[in-house]
Amino acid sequence: MRLSGGVESALHCCVALTAADGPVPAARLAELHGVSATYLAKHLQALSRAGLMHSVQGKAGGYVLTRSPEEITVLDVVEAIEGPRSTFVCTEIRQRGPLAVSPDDCTVSCVIARTMTAADRAWRAALREVSIADLRSAVGEDHGVDVLARIGDWLRSPLP
Partner DNA sequence: TTGATTCGGACAACATCTATCCGAGTATTA
Partner DNA sequence: TAATACTCGGATAGATGTTGTCCGAATCAA
Question: Which spans of this chain sit near DNA (rule: CB under 7 A)?
Answer: 1-2, 4-6, 25-28, 36, 38-39, 41-42, 44-45, 48-49, 55-63, 82
Q: What gap in Å lies between CA 55 and CA 23, rounded to an integer?
A: 8
- If contact means CB under 5 to 8 A according to the sort of partner, which of DNA, its own copies, none does residue 105 touch? its own copies
- Amino acid identity of residue 152, one-letter, is G
Residue 149 contacts its own copies per CB under 8 A = no
Q: Which is nearer to DNA, 27 or 147 (CB)?
A: 27
C-beta of 85: minimal distance to its own copies in Å? 7
Helix ranges (H only) for the chain are 6-17, 26-33, 37-49, 74-82, 111-128, 132-143, 147-156
48 binds, among its own copies, DNA, none (CB under 5 to 8 A by kind): DNA
Name the DSSP letter for residue 62: E
